[in-house]
Amino acid sequence: MSVLNAVLAANALYAKDFGDKTNLALPPARQFAILTCMDARLDPAKYAGLAEGDAHVIRNAGGRASDDAIRSLVISYKLLGTKEWFVIHHTDCGMEFFTDEVIRGLLANSLETAALGADGFYDVGKGPGSAEANYIDWLTIKEQAQSITEDVIRIKSHPLVPANIPVYGYIYDVKTGSLIEIPAATAAGKAK
């Protein structure tokens, strides 16, 4: 069953009362950006106290500092004036439940949705699959604090990222809604 009609109906109600949002400026009003996971349990607007127009929110699987995420952060700073960045991963992340080898094997077997069992993901599809998964770095996570620290270091050491931008590292706890600082990440992300 498609959600298309429900999404379009919700949009019609939203657009009907759009009001002053038509006057929001292009640059984010609070001059910061968040790189976080696409997990549906995370609502950055709520956990960071954002209103529309306040901040840039960049999302991908795991909230990882991929080339595309860094591209977005650089645009956020260079063209739209953000001055601080957050990298926020979260507890119970799906990116911890598999490795590059696992997803490559699953996609080689079939392109249908896999199932998650007690021993991890397994393929229930009939195929065909594709070997193209072998050419993607899936940026899976072994340990959250380490992955956040690695991502902050990768961002800070990128040649297009100015030294004066602080990058903070946090884990969002999906059971409590709290942000937990990762001191090693924030230390690595200090502005110079």
Q: Render pLDDT for 90-129 as a digit per residue (tens, 0 to 9).
A: 999 999 999 999 999 999 999 999 998 988 899 998 889 9
* 3-38 pLDDT per residue, tens: 999 999 999 999 999 999 999 999 999 999 999 999
Are 105 and 70 contained in the same domain? no
Cα–Cα distance, 184 to 41 (Å, whole number): 25
Summarised one tens digit per residue, pLDDT across range 161-182 is 999 999 999 999 999 999 999 9
Residue 116's DSSP bridge partners are 121
Mark whether 91 and 119 lie in a shared domain.
no
Task: Identify any residues that bridge with 117 across adjacent strands, giving them in sequence order.
Answer: 120
Predicted TM-score (pTM) of this structure: 0.94
Q: What is the CATH number of the domain that holds 156?
A: 3.40.1050.10
pLDDT at residue 64 tops 90: yes
38 lies in some domain: yes
Q: Which amino acid is located at 94 in the chain?
A: G
Q: Per-residue confidence at 58, pLDDT binned at 50, 70, 90?
A: very high
The pair of structure tokens assigned to 143 is: 């340990």
Q: Are residues 103 and 147 in the same domain?
A: no
Number of domains in the chain: 2
Cα 35–chain centre separation = 5
For residue 29, the SS3 value is coil
Over residues 77-91, the pLDDT tens digits come to 999 999 999 999 999
* Nearest by Cα to 92 from 35, 39, 168: 39
Q: Identify the pLDDT of residue 127.
A: 85
Range of the domain at 42: 25-96+140-192
Q: Is the pLDDT of residue 50 over 90?
A: yes
Q: Is residue 11 part of a domain?
A: no
54 and 132 belong to one structural domain: no
Kindly indicate the confidence band of residue 1, based on its pLDDT and cuts at 50, 70 and 90: confident
Residues 61 and 40 in one domain: yes
| Structural domain contains residue 126 | yes
Calpha distance 133→40 (Å, rounded): 24
CB count in 10 Å sphere of residue 47? 18
